[in-house]
Every structure is written in C-alpha cells, then in structure tokens.
Amino acid sequence: MARKTANDDPLAPVTLAVGQEDLLLDRAVQEVVAAAKAADADTDVRDLTPDQLQPGTLAELTSPSLFAERKVVVVRNAQDLSADTIKDVKAYLGAPAEEITLVLLHAGGAKGKGLLDAARKAGAREVACPRMTKPADRLAFVRGEFRTTGRSATPEACQTLVDAIGSDLRELASAVSQLVADVEGTIDEAVVGRYYTGRAEASSFTVADRAVEGRAAEALEALRWSLATGVAPVLITSALAQGVRAIGKLSSARGGRPADLARELGMPPWKIDRVRQQMRGWTPDGVSIALRAVAEADAGVKGGGDDPEYALEKAVVTIARAARSRGRG
C-alpha cells in the first residue's frame, strides 16, 4: 500500500508520487483526480508524458483562466523531463496556482533527483509507491486490500493468494476484489484454493512445500506444471531456498510459543506452525545437503548448466530425500 506524508490532502497544490510500482502510482493519481472532481465535477484533467510537456507548456496549462476552473495536471516519468522543462517545473513549485493540482510521478532514482529535491523542499505532499519485491511486502499489500474493503481474510488465505498469484499487484488487487464480491463472511484458505487452484498448484511455493515435506512425486508434478505454465526457474529456486532455510532456522531456535519464535525468526506466527509440521524428519545434515542442492540448482538455472529443468528436478529430489533423513540410519 502506498505510504503518504503527514500532509494528506489530495488537493494539496503539489503531489509527488515516488516509486516504480505502477498500480500505486496510478492510484495516487486517481485519488487526486477523484478529490478534485468531488470538489468540482467539471475539473479539467491533463495527463502528460515527458515528450508532451515541452518548455512553456506548464505555464500555458497553469495560467489563470477566465472561468477559474479547477485543473489537475499529471506529469508521468518526471525524471525524464528535459532540462528546460525541469526549470519550468521548479519555477512553478515556488508559486503554484490556485485551483490547480500538479501531480508529479517520479521513479525515485538518481535521474532527475534535482526535481525530486525541489518538490520536497517546496513542501509537496508525497506518496511513496515503492516496487514490492519482497513476499512480505506483497502479503502486507493483500492484507491492506482486504482491510480497505472492510472484509476479513485469514492469514493463511492471504498467503495462499500471494503464492497463487505471484508478484503482479494489479492481479493481486483484482483477485481480492473478486473474492470480496463473490464470497460472504470470512475468506479462508479453502475459498482461495477453490478460486485459484490451477495457479496455486503451479506456484513455486507449492513445489517448495511438497519438497520440504518429503513428497518427491508431488513436488516433481508441481514443478513440471509450474514450468509448463511459465513460472520462472529462478522463482522456484528462491522458494526452495526459503523453504529449506525456514526449516534450518526453526530447528536451531529455542523452543517457545509461535508468537515468540515469530519475533525471533522474522516469520508470521502461522508460518511457524506450518514449518513445525514440515520439519519432521529433518536433521542438521539434511538441511546442509538441501542447501547445497539449492545452491547448485540456482547456479544451474542462471547459466551454469545446460538444462535448468533437470537442475530443478535434481534439487527437488535431493530436498525430498533430505526431509526423510531422520530414522533412515
């Protein structure tokens, strides 16, 4: 979910949306436009790319109107503006026009940093729209989507949805909307599974779960389905690594309640319970063997081998065997 500065008035003279997550950037624009149209249904909205904002264009768009109409001027990819146009924008920031809201969308990197700094110095309302690369961030996003709708979803349901859909926030948001529209009451893991069973079975985390549980045949079946449906091999090695590392972390942790272990290990409490079930049969040697297998597979899918699929199959079988190492003698 996008984070905002203390100045949270969408009709502030200047809104600065910073980041590379397209959905959050679009929502930042939509929020401003909606507020402007609520204040004046005839609000004029201009949505511009850098090539459309030439030197002098901003002055024309923000010049006083005979009818004093409200206007929203959106500038996308502001970091790509020409030097002369950036001078125009900086000058405008010093004296923004009444009844006009300027929305600057900036990627947040080094390019165009002078404009970014100038907008902040001018007191622009800022909305952070960072790309969500971590699974935990996408999980928090899904939870926030459910909260926004006023609906309840279990932690397991949120995790299953993230595992099934993947990293595309638009698809995650769409899935939440569909579930909220179609399902009454609390949304649980079973409901998500019914809606997204094909995708859930194809997810990299399903492969990892089956492997660390020692279910080699099911893990291989899930692996082949994942690859056939376009899941990137690097995502599968990442999920395998996360699964094995979770086993290692929990097996070496002190005993305690899930909530205490969750804080110690940086996992949600529900995941502690799941990993506890998965770690039966694992030994320290088994964890070491599995981690080496993951490292070899990772190298194999990143160009170190001729057959990424074979590298993954070998890793899955090795991990499944390691999961059953206790008691084999």
Strands 71-75 and 44-48: parallel
In contact, 239 and 205? CB cutoff 8 Å: yes
- The pLDDT, as a whole number, for residue 35 is 95
- The pLDDT, as a whole number, for residue 147 is 95
- The pLDDT, as a whole number, for residue 329 is 45
How many helical (H) and strand (E) elements, i.e. helices and strands, does the chain have? Answer: 15, 6
pLDDT digits 0-9 by tens, 125-150: 999 999 888 888 999 999 999 999 99
DSSP class of 254? P
Do you know the residue count of the chain? 329
- The pLDDT, as a whole number, for residue 162 is 86
- The pLDDT, as a whole number, for residue 120 is 95
pLDDT digits 0-9 by tens, 280-303: 889 999 999 999 999 999 998 887
Model confidence, pTM: 0.61
Q: Which residues of the chain have pLDDT under 70?
A: 1-7, 65-68, 197-202, 254-260, 262-263, 267-270, 304-305, 326-329
- The pLDDT, as a whole number, for residue 254 is 59
- The pLDDT, as a whole number, for residue 274 is 78
- The pLDDT, as a whole number, for residue 67 is 61
- The pLDDT, as a whole number, for residue 252 is 77
In 82-188, alpha helices (H)? 83-94, 113-121, 135-149, 155-165, 169-182
Return the number of other C-beta atoms located less than 10 Å from residue 273's C-beta.
14
In contact, 22 and 105? CB cutoff 8 Å: no
- The pLDDT, as a whole number, for residue 326 is 65
Does residue 103 come out as left (phi exceeding 0), alpha (psi in the -120 to 50 range) or beta? Answer: beta
* Location of structure tokens 């039966």: 280
**Pick from 152, 168, 161, 169: nearest CA to 197:** 161
Residue 207, both tokens: 């492969």
